[in-house]
Structure 1
């Protein structure tokens, strides 16, 4: 019975400590808070690290104590009896200590598999977070030790990619920026540069020849670096940035034509709208009498910036803004509430609350009170803001509701410029699906934009013309910079974990390992 139990214990030890198979495990002792494992080397001949001669001549013995992976959430200490061997080659070193590849490394206090676990946790959580998690697993290390273990994790050196993605990210917003380089085809990190200057990127491209296609945003510094280092490389502008630039220009153009489309929507007639209209007339009456802006501010008891804002607007309709109301649970019952208050003006709020409660309303009575007192029941369709209208124009029609589509069509048909703007948006959206004929269609779009009376889009067309080759490649080739933007999103998570305490070296290491 004892012999069988002993065999089972020996077999269990071989299973639990299978990672120590290059050693001969002699004894496993339970010390309470930790487990002590004693072992020795196999006694085979070892090659000299200098001359490579095999030797088994022992000069002496010594013990080496290291930590191994935890068992049952308890520390494991490994005490290994090592040999000091004599080199047989005359003139070589006299003695040397044998090593155990795959288990122990020179000067290390942890086994290879324990170091791998520590590095894996530190790669995801870095300093304090990794130290706390490792402590729960039975591995007690300081945050400084986990950072050093992270920096010892090797970074795989990838071959120079054929398609390179380049983008910048903020180390300190509006002050310091860095550049991340990825393989745009496999989306694997290639390198991280400490700034976003043209000289730094040019030096990297010259040291790593082989790049044929570079995906970038509209940065002039990156374009100049690629032009100087790789004159034959194809530069591809990022399509997302092209659409984003169009969205900014459209928002400005919609705001400039607010006097046209604002008349198509029913104006606001609340107290705030009346005050705005009255103030606009007061300021413009004084300006027609050649009263200065500062004097207008003094007479009307307004700030100078407010007077300037009203003076810049030629018509009061442009000052209309949509109320900043968020969607509420009352919105689906607005028509019923309006009809009931029209038929019976004295109906109580509690009565209305009971009626819509029977129809499925799940909100509170206080929410209904606020909804009614804000005038959202009787109010007609509010005037839409320029940003909201621009968003409707830039959204795919299939993603709009029938009401949103009707609102967009009604407001864009108010003047010829808005009609031209809507048509240019539709034609530009078709260019964002790369195909062979898009190059000619892009030239036609730029020509049509310049012919239209849309000054804000003229500046966009000039920017596209200055970077014409990269834009043509963006609308005809399948490459894009989406993978680089995804890496930047993960980089922000890494920087939030590090809380700005670590330097660029550690940040670069974590980005390349992630």
Structure 2
């Protein structure tokens, strides 16, 4: 069977969907998303031999409790997406000014060091983005072609070209996606000695947090660096990353785009995407290392042989790239399910659609 969460009402109410992967049909939909209900269902169906699930610990625990005889299979799509998220996080460690900002090297360093200069850098970035998009439009290029050349979504291009001047960025109100909304609770946990990111992530999720673990880790990382007397300093590993320009536009390549290109095999890249990858490999030691690891990981998944995985995990941990190390350690904790994902044909795709 495949098991996953099911949205009764988007982002507010969830149940659990259970699919017969052999017959490609829904078996049951549970009212809630909990270890107890999923484990009870599995206990009532002792014939289950395979459980395909995502990386969420909830269904892993439910399977251990309700169907200890079953072989757990991690979903391959989520494995690749988790790696992509780790790459994106690593590419973001240089600071937001090196993402979409078009800045000089000196300006980037200043922006990472001084908050006031960072705000100025973002304003300068918006001016340059505005100028580039309007210049391309004046050359007669279509919105779609501008989006292709710059890496922006077509929607964003359309919005920017409607502006007569660069929009001023306003600080967004805190909401449930921001860990700062839970600062008081997190600070108390921190004071009490509970500093494990995964534990704190679980606690704030119970209190309504809808953001990512990576966002929470950025907040906790700043607190850890503060205790070491480094203030808001970027961790030393981030020095491996440098802002890399798109060879076609001169625009700094964003972490999102870099991560998406990093996991895509060379044969599937368009010519302009391949030029981006080559620029990133040449300009960023960390990207080049992550690209090698990503291609090896894809090869392991496609080859359906789990034997090379242990060596891959060791190499990923030795990379000293914190998000990649974290991803590798999580794989090791879930090694049986990951090995099954590599060796068996089952995946959770049917539960997604």
TM-score bracket, shorter-length normalisation: 0.5 to 0.7
Count residues with an aligned counterpart: 248
Assess if the C-alpha contact under 8 Å between 2:95 and 2:112 holds in 1.
Answer: no
- The answer as to 2:2 corresponding to 1:165 is yes
Normalised to the residue count of structure 1, the TM-score between the two structures is 0.42
DSSP-derived class of the 1:383 partner: coil
Corresponding residue to 1:428 among 297, 303, 312? 297
Corresponding residue to 1:392 among 261, 285, 291? 261
Q: 1:177 to 1:309 in 2, by over 3 A?
A: farther
Aligned twin of 1:410: 279
Q: CA deviation at 1:416?
A: 2.8
Assess if the C-alpha contact under 8 Å between 2:111 and 2:118 holds in 1.
Answer: no
Aligned twin of 1:234: 71
Tell which structure's C-alpha radius of gyration is larger: 1
Counterparts of 2:28 and 2:249, CA distance in 1: 57
Aligned twin of 1:447: 314
Q: 1:189 to 1:388 in 2, by over 3 A?
A: same
Counterparts of 2:111 and 2:23, CA distance in 1: 63
Corresponding residue to 1:310 among 114, 118, 121? 118
Counterparts of 2:65 and 2:53, CA distance in 1: 15
What is the alpha-carbon root mean square deviation over aligned residues? Answer: 4.0
Per-residue CA shift, 1:464-493, capped at 9, x if unaligned?
11111101100111111111111xxxxxxx
Normalised to the residue count of structure 2, the TM-score between the two structures is 0.60
Q: 1:282 to 1:475 in 2, by over 3 A?
A: closer
Q: 1:415 to 1:385 in 2, by over 3 A?
A: closer
Per-residue CA shift, 1:16-51, capped at 9, x if unaligned?
xxxxxxxxxxxxxxxxxxxxxxxxxxxxxxxxxxxx
Counterparts of 1:472 and 1:219, CA distance in 2: 16
Q: CA deviation at 1:226?
A: 1.1
Corresponding residue to 2:140 among 314, 323, 330? 330
Aligned twin of 2:244: none
Q: CA deviation at 1:170?
A: 1.9
Q: CA deviation at 1:383?
A: 2.1
Aligned twin of 1:484: 351
Aligned twin of 1:466: 333
Assess if the C-alpha contact under 8 Å between 2:3 and 2:351 holds in 1.
Answer: yes
DSSP-derived class of the 1:450 partner: helix
Per-residue CA shift, 1:302-348, capped at 9, x if unaligned?
xxxxx37939x9xx79x96893859979348xxxxxxxxxxxxxxxx
Per-residue CA shift, 1:388-425, capped at 9, x if unaligned?
22222222322322222122112222243222111011
DSSP-derived class of the 1:432 partner: helix
Counterparts of 2:326 and 2:116, CA distance in 1: 26
Counterparts of 2:13 and 2:140, CA distance in 1: 47
Counterparts of 1:443 and 1:191, CA distance in 2: 36
Counterparts of 2:44 and 2:63, CA distance in 1: 13
DSSP-derived class of the 1:180 partner: strand
Per-residue CA shift, 1:46-101, capped at 9, x if unaligned?
xxxxxxxxxxxxxxxxxxxxxxxxxxxxxxxxxxxxxxxxxxxxxxxxxxxxxxxx
Aligned twin of 1:197: 34
Counterparts of 2:68 and 2:110, CA distance in 1: 60
Counterparts of 1:257 and 1:193, CA distance in 2: 43
DSSP-derived class of the 2:47 partner: coil
Within-5 A mapping of 1:354-373: none
Per-residue CA shift, 1:372-395, capped at 9, x if unaligned?
x99xxxx95222222122222222
DSSP-derived class of the 2:308 partner: helix
Aligned twin of 2:43: 206
Q: 1:309 to 1:255 in 2, by over 3 A?
A: farther
Counterparts of 2:264 and 2:125, CA distance in 1: 23
Decide which structure has greater strand share.
1
Assess if the C-alpha contact under 8 Å between 1:320 and 1:383 holds in 2.
Answer: no
Assess if the C-alpha contact under 8 Å between 1:202 and 1:229 holds in 2.
Answer: yes
Q: CA deviation at 1:282?
A: 9.2
Unpaired runs of 5+ residues, structure 1, are 1-163, 288-306, 333-366, 487-514
Q: 1:209 to 1:216 in 2, by over 3 A?
A: same
Q: 1:309 to 1:231 in 2, by over 3 A?
A: farther
